[in-house]
Amino acid sequence: MPYIKAHYHPFLFILITMCAMAELGLTAYLISVGNESRNWPSARYHSLLIFFEFNAVWTTLFGAAYMLWIVDGAVHFLASIASSIVWLAITSALWGAAAGMMHNTRTGGDCNWISSSSTSVNGVLPCDPPQELSVSSCRETLTVEAVGWVLFGLCVLTLVATCMWVRTSKRGYVSAGYKPGM
């Protein structure tokens, strides 16, 4: 099992960190555009974007730190497997809550939750089909939710894999003082 530990853990943390960076950029862009145009479909949507932004910053910082600690081979408390499990559990809960709330706020794949009476951004209503060089706000919102679900899944996968690794490595451990049959 040491082979598995040495190889899957850094890659899962790299995936988590990279997805969080993508979410960070997208939510920062959506918040910036919304603040400039003062065009928010609802106060809940604006709050959810800020929550996604917090989750993305949290995940990027700690994911990168864990990734560096794993590669560096650090042995302090914050780099321990126990703290990794706690962080993954908290992060999974945050991403699951955010993606679930966005799904309930959005209510459908066709973005019909954005009122058609809202003002336009650069002459394009948020629910209009994508124009030649612009991307629909609806599609961006769907992407925010999708990346949130991906991050939730990656965190849960990493959490389960870490717990399974701990469980299997404890089974294989035999104390030097233990002698079978005595």
pLDDT above 60 (res 6): no
- CA 99 – CA 119 distance, rounded (Å): 26
Percent of the chain predicted with pLDDT > 70:
67
**Residue 42: how many other CB atoms lie within 10 Å:** 13
Hey, where are the domains in the chain?
A: 7-107+138-173
Band of residue 41 on the pLDDT scale cut at 50, 70, 90: confident
Percent of the chain predicted with pLDDT > 90:
37
Q: List the one residue out of 143, 38, 124 whose CA is nearest residue 116.
A: 124
- CA 104 – CA 19 distance, rounded (Å): 22
- pLDDT tens-digit readout, 115-165: 544 444 444 444 444 333 234 677 788 899 999 999 999 999 999 988 887
Band of residue 109 on the pLDDT scale cut at 50, 70, 90: low
Q: 8 CB contacts (<8 Å, ≥6 apart)?
A: 161
What is the pTM assigned to this prediction? 0.74
Mean pLDDT, the chain, as a whole number?
A: 76
